[in-house]
Amino acid sequence: MAVPSIGRVKNLFRFRSPLRGPWLTSVFGAVLLACLPLVVLTGLLDFVAYGPGQHLPADVGWLHLPLFDWPTRPSWLFRLTQGLHVGLGLVLVPVVLAKLWSVIPKLFAWPPVRSVAHALERLSLLLLVGSVLFEIVTGVLNIQYDYVFGFSFYTGHYFGAWVFIASFVTHVALKLPTMIRSLRRRAPAIPRAKEPAPLTMSRRGLLGTVGGGALLVGLLTAGQTVGGPLRDLAFLLPRGTEPGEGANRYPINKTAAAAGVVVREDWRLTVTGVTGRTFTRDELLALPQHMARLPIACVEGWSTVQTWTGVRLRDLAALAGVPEPASAFVSSLEQGPFAQATLNHGQTTDPDALLALRVNGADLSLDHGFPARIIVPALPGVHCTKWVRALDFRSA
Ligand SMILES: Nc1nc2c(c(=O)[nH]1)N[C@H]1C(S)=C(S)[C@@H](COP(=O)(O)O)O[C@H]1N2
Ligand SMILES: [Mo]
């Protein structure tokens, strides 16, 4: 068996590409400096929308953002914030990797620590690189529904974000002057490698490859929100739709079979508040019906706009003796994490907040939540509970 010589192994770590240099690092750095704050900001907004109170362990409750009630208008608000967070986050992955590639030799620099200040700088780098990779990996796995990591995605991704924010701010404060200087000098010719190898690709070719990679990811992602023919290209979107061309043909997050939901003939909706009563589906259909064109926007980045018909939540609240509901507690036939959701005041009283029974002029399909589901403007898809079993309206 051929054993690689020590010399060869050493060569591997010499990183001799002449393309690596302060200018290239600064170009990627400038792109990330311009775009990553938007990914962070939309991510934090999504966390507010999602309602961290329902998901963070109680002992870290102090980490909740200064919460405001997530609004219902504009109805595409969550579609925008979540689409930007996931879409831009994915598009930037090639740039993050290219920037890491451009500074690899520094990670193996010798001696590893020269002074206290240098040690602190390296520690912040470790946290920066670690957290950005952590956010990418957990984010992408979440889109693919792969929870190999064994901890709550929301908690992990949220804490990872704070580590990233702290180390990103430190890094920018330390490196901004260098970045500006390198970009001004426009002297890409200073390579980082001590013994640069001959060029195998032009600098323009490298920038083109990274930019092209980002564009390609964008193309493969955009369809999950934009829809249309691009939807078929959105291969980073693993959601299937129902077959055929029917009214219910739009992405399904989880099928009834996968959710283990069986809807029995004697299904009744239980509505409670001050008084309580149950409704058959026909009784619900006999109540005033309201139609609204609203998106479902998933926390995983995909979204779809459909035309829903059903009963206004505030009409149901009034029937339960709560004309001014402060919140609604929704229960599903499904067990597990989707069994319950809480809607705030605005999400309960908005004129377009519906218990939807029909979509695009047809009954909801079983996979889309038949007999009834929640649809509320700007509500994260995850709270648009399917297979609703009960609604409880609270006045305070
Ligand atoms: N009971 C239940 N409701 C649910 C879900 C679920 O898995 N179970 N998925 C939610 C998520 S994450 C989204 S994005 C939407 C998707 O709705 P759709 O499958 O009809 O497209 O339903 C929401 N309601
Ligand atoms: Mo979702």
Q: Are 78 and 49 in contact (CB under 8 A)?
A: yes
Q: Are residues 53 and 182 in the same domain?
A: yes
Q: Tokens for 142, please give them.
A: 């979440």
First-to-last CA distance in the chain? 75
Q: Are residues 252 and 220 in the same domain?
A: no
**Minimal CA–CA distance to 358: which of 341, 378, 375, 338?**
375
Quote the number of domains for the chain: 2
Q: Are residues 202 and 95 in the same domain?
A: yes
CA of 203 to the centre of ligand 1 (A): 46
Domain-embedded: residue 4:
no
Q: Are residues 146 and 214 in the same domain?
A: yes
Q: Are residues 203 and 269 in the same domain?
A: no
Domain-embedded: residue 6:
no
Which residue, chain included where needed, has tokens 């929640």? Answer: 374
> Which atom of ligand 1 is the closest one to the Cα of 387?
1
**Minimal CA–CA distance to 55: which of 348, 384, 342?**
342
Spatial neighbors of 350 by CB under 8 A, at least 6 apart, are 72, 73, 314, 376, 377
Q: Specify the pairing of strand 388-394 against strand 327-332.
A: antiparallel
Beta carbon of 383 within 6 Å of any ligand 1 atom: no
Distances (CA, A) of 20 to 25, 172, 203: 7, 20, 9
Q: Which helix (H) or strand (E) holds 394?
A: strand 388-394
Domain-embedded: residue 304:
yes
The model carries a pTM of 0.92
Alpha helices in the chain (DSSP H): 6-12, 22-50, 77-91, 93-107, 116-143, 153-185, 203-226, 256-259, 281-286, 313-319, 345-349
| Boundary residue ending a domain (200, 233, 266) | 233
Beta carbon of 298 within 6 Å of any ligand 1 atom: yes
CA-nearest residue for atom 21, ligand 1, is: 252
Query: What is the SS3 assignment for 389?
Result: strand
Q: Are residues 85 and 134 in the same domain?
A: yes
Domain-embedded: residue 56:
yes
Please give the single-letter amino acid code of residue 190: I
Domain-embedded: residue 359:
yes
Beta carbon of 387 within 6 Å of any ligand 1 atom: yes
**CA dist., res. 192 & res. 177, Å (int):** 18
Distances (CA, A) of 385 to 45, 122, 253: 21, 46, 11
Supply the range of the domain harboring residue 281. Answer: 247-394
CA of 122 to the centre of ligand 1 (A): 43
Q: Are residues 291 and 326 in the same domain?
A: yes
Please give the single-letter amino acid code of residue 246: G
Domain-embedded: residue 140:
yes
**CA dist., res. 347 & res. 133, Å (int):** 35
Which residue, chain included where needed, has tokens 């009963």? Answer: 311
**CATH number, domain containing residue 338:** 3.90.420.10
Q: Are residues 181 and 93 in the same domain?
A: yes
What pLDDT shows up at residue 378? Answer: 97
| Boundary residue ending a domain (203, 233, 263) | 233
Q: Tokens for 16, please give them.
A: 């001799």
Q: Are residues 41 and 161 in the same domain?
A: yes
Domain-embedded: residue 318:
yes
What pLDDT shows up at residue 109? Answer: 80
| Maximum CA extent, the chain | 81
What is the total residue count of the chain?
Answer: 396
> Which atom of ligand 1 is the closest one to the Cα of 374?
24
Q: Are residues 261 and 303 in the same domain?
A: yes
Q: Tokens for 252, please give them.
A: 């399904």
What pLDDT shows up at residue 6? Answer: 65
Q: Are residues 116 and 200 in the same domain?
A: yes
What pLDDT shows up at residue 51? Answer: 75
Beta carbon of 158 within 6 Å of any ligand 1 atom: no
- Taking only the tens of pLDDT, the chain with its 396 residues reads 456 666 666 666 678 888 999 999 999 999 999 999 999 999 999 988 987 555 555 655 656 665 688 999 999 999 999 999 999 999 999 999 999 999 998 888 888 899 998 998 899 999 999 999 999 999 998 887 776 777 888 889 999 999 999 999 999 999 999 999 999 987 666 778 888 888 889 999 999 999 999 999 998 888 877 777 777 777 766 566 656 668 998 888 889 999 999 999 999 999 999 999 999 999 999 999 999 999 999 988 889 999 999 999 999 999 999 999 999 999 999 998 889 999 999 999 999 999 999 999 999 999 999 999 999 999 999 999 999 999 999 997
Distances (CA, A) of 43 to 28, 86, 88, 179, 291: 22, 8, 11, 26, 31
CA-nearest residue for atom 10, ligand 1, is: 382
Q: Tokens for 178, please give them.
A: 């260098």
CA of 334 to the centre of ligand 1 (A): 11
Q: Are residues 172 and 274 in the same domain?
A: no
Tell me how crowded residue 38 is: count the other CB atoms within 10 A of its CB. Answer: 15
| Boundary residue ending a domain (208, 233, 258) | 233
**CA dist., res. 108 & res. 103, Å (int):** 10
Q: Are 157 and 135 in contact (CB under 8 A)?
A: yes
Angle at 377 between CA 371 and CA 383, to 5 degrees: 55
